[in-house]
Amino acid sequence: MPHRADTLLERRRKLLGPAYSLFYKEPLHLVRGEGVWLYDVNGRRYLDMYNNVPHVGHCHPRVVDAIDRQGRLLNTHTRYLHELVLDYAERLTATLPDGLDVAMFSCTGTEANELALRIARQVTGATGVIVTDYSYHGNSQAISEISTEYTRPDMLPPYVIPVPAPDTYRGPYRAADAAERYAAHVAVAIETLKGRGIRPAALMLDTIVSSEGVVAVPRGYLSRAAAHIRDAGGFFIADEVQPGLGRLGERFWGFELDDVVPDIVTMGKPMGNGHPLAATVTRSDIAGAFARKAHYFNTFGGNPVSAAAGLAVLEVLETDQLQQNALKVGRHLVSGLEQLAARHEEIGDVRGSGFFLAAELVEDRETRNPATKYAGQVVERLRQEGVLTNTIGRDENILKLRPPMVLSRQDADMFLDILDRALQEPALRAPPR
């Protein structure tokens, strides 16, 4: 009889088709989660340094209870009156700057971005969109068109213009004026659109620029880029699907690390701690202008059970002071990674904020050439040692660290210890330079 994992792989291939992918050479078969721990079918536990969706910890009892309680009482949709969705919208928008006070709910980050794009296009009457050059914003037809990670530059429609991600480690601008120089590309993109007879509707940015490698966005970039798009009559859409909800420690939302208030903010992944919940938040004047031209309904978005889950997540974040935990333990992680970098030449750069961190692995600190193969080997070795991470970036050479918000200092030390040992292994070392 084949091993159980083989059977699952075979069934998966048949039933789900080949478009799906799996992490790790030896895929994990997980059956249970608790806090920062995941347990496989054999009872082995893994420290989760990667998953940001179980925001307040895997299977947090207060979130599970909230879903259970509301699920037993009532679950309908937003075409009936219900208090919970309003309580949630109130509590959620209270975390955002004044003016961003209308929340429209959906189930995925893709949908939140779709709606943001629809709003921007309807309200401005324009179609052009500017995004960074290795971005991911979702999986629908319209959003894959602006997800440059998967769409080759020559395949982009004429109304989508990519600009260089503001990467000050390996990108073209690394000096003090990087924010200004990267933002100037947005102005150039606007001119390119105009040259094609297209007006810009929006600039959409993931405020931590995660797909490009959790870039340390130079302060002043977001506000300058936003000013360019607004001058041209378009909206600044902050995609907070990954960085939002306190993960960055310092601030609750990624755009708050800069001096800018977006016109539209999209969010998803961590909002329901695994329960599908997403939102597009905007100003009442924009929401009003959209509603005069269009209509919005989402069967599952904003249902009472989702609202209960979302509320429970916000409550746990606050009562358990998890943003503060991300800040404190995140700083400890950064300093631990910097100490490892002092001993391991392969770590070229450590960056990020709170519990959204990156360690960029390079073949050589001078050239900063990506150590792609090595990074993959490190990820596999960490998995063998019971730690889950993954790589990110165009060259897949950046370790992406994004643990649940309940990671403790002790957990962080365990991770640093295991990473240190992996980096010491001669067998894994990058090829001779």
Q: Which residues bind ligand PLP (CB under 6 A)?
A: 108-110, 113, 136-139, 206, 210, 239, 241-242, 268-269
**Least separation, in Å, of the C-beta of 204 and ligand PLP?**
9
Are residues 162 and 132 in contact, defined by beta-carbon separation less than 8 angstroms?
yes
CA distance 226 to 236: 5
CA distance 396 to 230: 34
Are residues 161 and 192 in contact, defined by beta-carbon separation less than 8 angstroms?
yes
Cβ distance to ligand PLP smaller for residue 122 or 139: 139
**Least separation, in Å, of the C-beta of 276 and ligand PLP?**
8
Cβ distance to ligand PLP smaller for residue 254 or 348: 254
CA distance 356 to 398: 12
Phi then psi dihedrals of residue 384, to 5 deg: -60, -30
CA distance 373 to 371: 6
**Least separation, in Å, of the C-beta of 428 and ligand PLP?**
28
Helices (H), 320-428: 322-343, 372-384, 409-424
Are residues 348 and 360 in contact, defined by beta-carbon separation less than 8 angstroms?
yes
Kind and range of the H or E element at 162?
strand 160-163
**Least separation, in Å, of the C-beta of 206 and ligand PLP?**
4
**Least separation, in Å, of the C-beta of 205 and ligand PLP?**
9
**Least separation, in Å, of the C-beta of 393 and ligand PLP?**
13
Cβ distance to ligand PLP smaller for residue 137 or 247: 137
Cβ distance to ligand PLP smaller for residue 108 or 168: 108
**Least separation, in Å, of the C-beta of 291 and ligand PLP?**
24
Cβ distance to ligand PLP smaller for residue 143 or 340: 143
Cβ distance to ligand PLP smaller for residue 127 or 242: 242
Closest CA to 327 of 248, 406, 218: 248
Which residue sits closest to ligand PLP, CB atoms considered?
Answer: 109
Cβ distance to ligand PLP smaller for residue 108 or 377: 108
Cβ distance to ligand PLP smaller for residue 133 or 206: 206
Are residues 147 and 141 in contact, defined by beta-carbon separation less than 8 angstroms?
no
**Least separation, in Å, of the C-beta of 401 and ligand PLP?**
15
Q: Say whether 330 sits in a helix, a strand or coil.
A: helix
Cβ distance to ligand PLP smaller for residue 124 or 132: 132
**Least separation, in Å, of the C-beta of 51 and ligand PLP?**
12
C-alpha to C-alpha distances, 128 to 152, 156, 200, 204, nearest whole angstrom: 18, 12, 4, 11
Are residues 266 and 109 in contact, defined by beta-carbon separation less than 8 angstroms?
yes
Closest CA to 253 of 94, 47, 27, 126: 94
Are residues 378 and 361 in contact, defined by beta-carbon separation less than 8 angstroms?
yes
